[in-house]
A and B are shown apart, each in its own frame.
Chain A
Amino acid sequence: KLQQCVWWCGCVCVTCVYAFVCAYLLICTYICVCNSRKDVITVTPWLAPVVWEGTFHTTLIDAIYKMQNITVATTVFALGKYVQFLKDFLESAEKHYMQGYRVHYYIFTDQPEAVPTVTLGASRSLTTLKIPSSNRWQEITLRRMERLEKLIETQLSNEVDYIFSLDVDTKFYGHWGVETLGDIVAVIHPGYYSTPRDDFPYERRSESQAYIPYGKGDFYYGGAVIGGRVEKVHKLAKTCRMQLDVDKANSIEAAWQEESHLNKYFLYNKPTKILSPEYLWQDTKYITPDIKIIRFSQVIKNYAKVRPNP
């Protein structure tokens, strides 16, 4: 009988110990698990946050910005056959982009009549700006900085707090809100976010103003998204435009046009916030496990059909 007692006591003890340790480990995990991503880096070496799904609470951030009654300008360039992308861009923006905030679209186009009529939400407006076309797509993309600079100078400084300059051959697929706002905001190019820095397609010829030598550089930023406070983006656009002019005078065109100059700018003027590749994807790309949501992506297009020149 004594032995049976010991046997039962032993069983109970072991079960208790087991239950206690399990509970401790689970609770410890629960307390230590924080509301964030542990598979990616969420801050740069200069302590700018990198915005990934899971790193922010929309409610908290909305609470900060809704009080400030902000206006966000959004510029796109739709020249030649690129006007075909406007409808999807605008309609998807109306579903996902800066919902609940005052947004003013500025559409630069050579065919104002081709701008589609899209139902805009409350506090959202659209202005079409006619600009001349070109028969070289590189020319079109190179002049964007100048147009952005002039737009800010002439129209935006008083009316607008933040500005985003976006490519038009894109579409919004998911939430893009005020978590993206900052003094100067850049996006990581989806094609290079896990490649080593010497493989970045920086401009490598020292004759160009966009030159970045091997061994230097932080990230490869995509030219399809530039954002930030209006005065900071103005400085960026002005500097890039000046560097583009110098290159033109020296008859050199950077490897990826303004994107190369943008990367040079961001190397010496660190962005204060970086958007993960969720904010600039490519429809042709296979989705890797660290990308939990695609918010904004470049659509599949046939280059031969949309570009005025190869």
Chain B
Amino acid sequence: MPSNKYLFLVLLAGALMVWVIYLGYASHMFRNMQLGKQMLTHARNCNTPLYTPSLLNGRKDVVTVTPWLAPIVWEGTFDMNILDAIYKPQNITVANTVFAVGKYVQFLKDYLESAEQYFMLGYRVHYYIFTDQPEAVPTVTLGADRRITTLKIPGSDRWQEITLRRMEMIENLIETQLVSEADYIFCLDVDTKFYGHWGAESLSRLVAAVHFGFYSASREHFTYERRPESQAYIPYGEGDYYYGGAMIGGLVREVYKVTKTCHLWLDMDKANSIEAVWQEESHLNKYFLYNKPTKLLSPEYLWHGPYAGNEVKIIRFTQVWKDASKVRPN
């Protein structure tokens, strides 16, 4: 009889909905969202002087250490006071390199102004701006103990060319100047802006940032270079994380090794007429696979767009929206 069947159907649907809701509630996803909210409160408490370290209470919704025991830096996992007490006495200098070629000079103002608000405050910072238009570098009021050096480099009519030469430029800069001037270096993309604190918690021997697009993906989906002809080749089944090319950091001598090796691999690829799928980012990922970073920055440190993810409680540094056709030479 039709009405009984409909009734049965409705009851079945109802039971299934209840089951699905229960599954969803019990699953990691929803639990993590709840935890995440609790942890944000915890995170805010982290930087108050009365914060007590604990082995059992703290941020548990994210992975805070890699399988080779390098810490992954998330909001709520570190105490600024303790870290500043470790690093401030070391009287360090942090170099910050950025490339602004062609129309990319338009990003410099926001980049520098926001860096002056959030990047390594209280430390000695030396910006190195690589540009083909030194006159276009904006005048920005810098804080105490912070300065800018502009370095003129040739432009190019291929954006891939510009990004590929960065490794070589940074390698030369370190060889000629930084090795005696700076302790740590961060190589960042310029089409970006700081929105939140970026401090001494990011310092370590060799620092990489987890790419925002891949932090919860499994390794088959990473856009590694998959052609064995390229030096950047990483076969399926291998790989730890997908690191963003927009951030390389660490001790000057360690980053020197990164740039030197990547430069070598880029030259080898060029000689073999092959360009890695994501240019230097592909080579960087290869490097970090075999030379594990000693510290990873969570996607808070390399985000894209204004909307945070569930686990990403604070956006510190993000790529700004740009119309690619308007800023790229090709």
Contacts and interface: CB of A to CB of B under 8 A. Distances in A.
Contact of B78 (A7, A32, A47): A47
B28 A32 contact: yes
Contacts of B216: 31-32
A31 B218 contact: yes
B71 interface: yes
Contacts of B64: 36, 41-43
A129 interface: no
Contacts of A64: 68, 292
A55 B54 CA distance: 17
Interface in B55-75: 55-61, 63-65, 67-73
Interface residues of A, number: 51
Nearest to A197: B52
Interface stretch (A22-30, A120-128, A249-257): A22-30
A308 interface: no
Interface string A172-205: 0000000100000000100001101100000000
A14 B60 contact: no
B13 A14 contact: yes
Contact of B29 (A28, A46, A218, A273): A28
B86 interface: yes
B53 A218 contact: yes
Interface residues of B, number: 50
A45 B71 contact: no
A236 B70 CA distance: 24
B296 to A, nearest CB: 10
A35 B64 CA distance: 11
A41 B56 CA distance: 6
Nearest to A46: B82
Contact of B71 (A17, A49, A193, A215): A49
A219 B71 CA distance: 18
A61 B46 contact: no
Given A11-B12, A46-B78, A47-B295, A41 B55 contact: yes
Contacts of A273: 69
B27 interface: yes
Contacts of A263: none
A70 to B, nearest CB: 16
A38 B60 contact: yes
A17 B64 CA distance: 35
Contact of A45 (B29, B32, B77, B292): B77
A51 B69 contact: yes
Contacts of B52: 196-197
B271 interface: no
Contacts of B56: 40-41, 193-194, 290
26 contacts: A7-B5, A7-B6, A11-B9, A14-B9, A18-B16, A21-B23, A25-B27, A28-B27, A32-B28, A33-B28, A35-B63, A38-B61, A42-B65, A43-B65, A43-B77, A45-B77, A45-B82, A46-B82, A47-B73, A49-B70, A50-B55, A55-B67, A60-B68, A61-B68, A196-B52, A197-B52
Interface of A: 3, 7, 10-11, 14, 17-18, 21-22, 25, 28-29, 31-36, 38-51, 55-57, 60-61, 64, 179, 188, 193-194, 196-197, 215, 218-219, 270, 273, 276, 290
Interface of B: 2, 5-6, 9, 12-13, 16, 19-20, 23-24, 27-29, 32, 46, 50-61, 63-65, 67-73, 77-79, 82-83, 86, 201, 216-218, 292, 295
